Structure 1
Amino acid sequence: MDGPSLDHEARGKQPGPHVEKRLNAAFVRKAPPGRHTDGGGLYLQVDHSGARRWLLRIVVRGKRRDFGLGSASLVSLAEAREKAYEYRKLARTGGNPVVRERAVEGKATTFAELARTVHERKFKERANNGKHIAQWINTLETYAFPLIGNLSVEDIHQDDLEQVLDPIWTTKPETARRVLQRMKTVFDHACGRGLRTKGNPATGMRSLMRDQRADTKHFSAVPYMEISDLVLDVDQSNDVGALALLFATLTAMRSGPIRAACWSEFDSGLQAWTIPAEKMKTRKEFTVPLSMPARSVLLRAQKHRTKASDLVFPSPSRPAKMISDATMRKLLQSKHPGATVHGMRTSFRTWAAEIVRADHDVAELCLAHKVGSRVAQIYNQAELLDHRLMLMEKWGLWAYGDLEPFSNGNDVEAIIRGRWMESA
């Protein structure tokens, strides 16, 4: 009795291959999420993340067993069928494919697939900590997956990890340490499951890397994981300095244009803020699309409007003058010693890259940075305005700790558009 017969008999079905259900290479590449049978107990398992792997279900010594035959990106349909045949043949003669499975699974499992598996298991019961859950896998997707994501976990060496870490080891030391720790966790899992025979390549990596900067006691930027705590704290006050700091955070603009902002620079619906060229570092007029949270701050700031000036954030003691450059800084540093208002731009930019993986040009334009040629700069500012607004709306959600739209596979942009319609 061959392997397919064992499987069909276990299901109470007639023996013999179901040829009409056999897969083909094109379907393997494009198959939707779910489990798709090839017959004889061989299945293609497609996760919602897009990861796809081979699964063989056969009877071994009287018990039904499932065997992973590797990633479909590394193991072809023909190879999966060949492996399935070998396993069925081994089981039919009384052998145990488990012994052979561990020897080949590490070769057939990519780092990206195992990382996602570890991520899912690690946080399965910790859904209440959404920010950390998202950050854990996103840092690996941003920094590790492009270089080692498609390599098998068995074949990765320390020099591969060094290529991941070297570009950010001194420029983003905290991020680099987190990436290293998370890669180590993935390889610990690989070693524990017997998927690696060479030990954990991340062990001892810190001692092999060059020294990082020693001045890490004070951070100029508030870590984006702590932004919502800061914003919700500052948001309790309607003082001019607090509102200015909130507006600076939500728009990611420099403190100069914030302090000098005038009501005449905003359109009637507070949808956009057009900053005159003389107030910009680039000496070019710049339009800032305003998110719903940013507009809310402006509405609260209207109580400070005075006949003495058109300033949005006037000095409480001298309304004809803008607030000093120390006003926001002192408030910020009372919450986060060592942090700077300019550092809030860094917080935004890091978040945009690591959490939502925003388009580079969109994120840079949100900061009023130059991108591409002179012609491209003019074109991009006009064409990417809607994209910039959407990114700033996402930042507003994050800043206020409104993370529900980011969870459970939600379409964040659709939720934001729905809220726009509700507020219209």
Structure 2
Amino acid sequence: MTHDGIRRPQKALTARFVETVTEPGKHFDGHGLFLRVRPNGGKQWVQRITIRGKRSEIGLGSPPAVSLALARKLALDNRGKAMLGGDPLAERRKAAAGLTFDAAVDTYLAAKLDEFRNEKHRKQWRSTLNTYASPVLGSKLVSEITVQDILRVLEPIWQTKTETAKRLRGRIENVLSWATVAGHRKGDNPARWKGNLSEILPKPSKVATGGNQPALALGDAVGWWAALSSRDGMAAKALQFLTLTAARSGEVRGMTWDEIDFGIKSAIRTTPVATPATSATWTVPASRMKGGREHRVALTPDAVAILENLPRMDDSPLVFFAPRGGMLSDMSISAVMRRMQESEVKAGRAGYLDPRSKRPAVPHGLRSTFRQWAAEQGYPRDMAEIALAHFIGSDVERAYQRSDMLERRRVMMAAWSAFLRGE
């Protein structure tokens, strides 16, 4: 008898066995609970149980999302219901109707987020699901989500944001495993990697490039900017603003009007490299910054012009908003660059490729393009790094470096804007 008062057979399963077993078949734990291992390596918890005199099997999800301890607890709960005359199988079937992926995420995270000690980790969990999964899966019933649906989420970022895509896949798998255990869906988990997505997508280790995102070649920047400037739509305007400020996608997409100080514009617009002609500043709060520290961005006249010509949505503080309201998705901005690349290829040209990897440039790679330009123009390293909101030097150096060089950066960003225009 174990500490929880439940009898186990002498050869009950162990957590280590569940993690490493590859032999196909049924591996029993006791009290009707067993682990089914398929020839393709997939694993599923199954419980044999008698409900009102009829023998049935109930799927309890798959490891590692459902651990051995959790599978035992779920099996015990089902046995208790059955012994009291209930029907846990019928309850699951009733619960299966009508649960969307977004609703499943909300319910799952309400129970699971407290397990994460790190506040940043909690935010990342929800943020990645909201940004990448929800636009594709959000309104779909979890019972209807297929492998093809998962691929629609992952394929656009599998090559360019491999680490994010890996984490996203695991998080979707966990949500759908919970949905299976709770009776909202049946069968294999379409987000499972081994023996499933692993047969379709390349291994992350084969496509990851050490975190380097494909950048736009400096020689292509002027032509690319002209092509982008001819495009309409909120996502295209957001991409323009992102380029002019060298900001991250999430910082731009989450920007609100109260973060912007339009300052005082000069009555005469002189050469932008010498006189930026505006004191406009965008202040990104620490809560929205990757480094958890407030960041000021010097806005050029071109950046201000984009903002001044944007429509505003009633009852929404967002500067760049989605067609149906709410924040733009990261995919919508990436899609603009993808369509620009497709247009080039269709016209018989190579398009906008990273000079090293020869992969199509992506929004985040524009920061690298800016950094290369700043270095070649001779701007101080620290000033360029501050513009990118990177941490500079050691803790001691940062303690003494109180200035963020805002006005010097204003001139640099005006020169960057002029370079993009071909001046």
Same fold (TM over 0.5): no
- TM-score tier (shorter): 0.3 to 0.5
The structure with the largest helix share of the pair is: 1
TM-score after normalising by structure 1:
0.41
Computing the radius of gyration over CA atoms, which structure comes out larger, 1 or 2? 1
Higher relative contact order structure (alpha carbons within 8 Å, sequence separation ≥ 6): 2
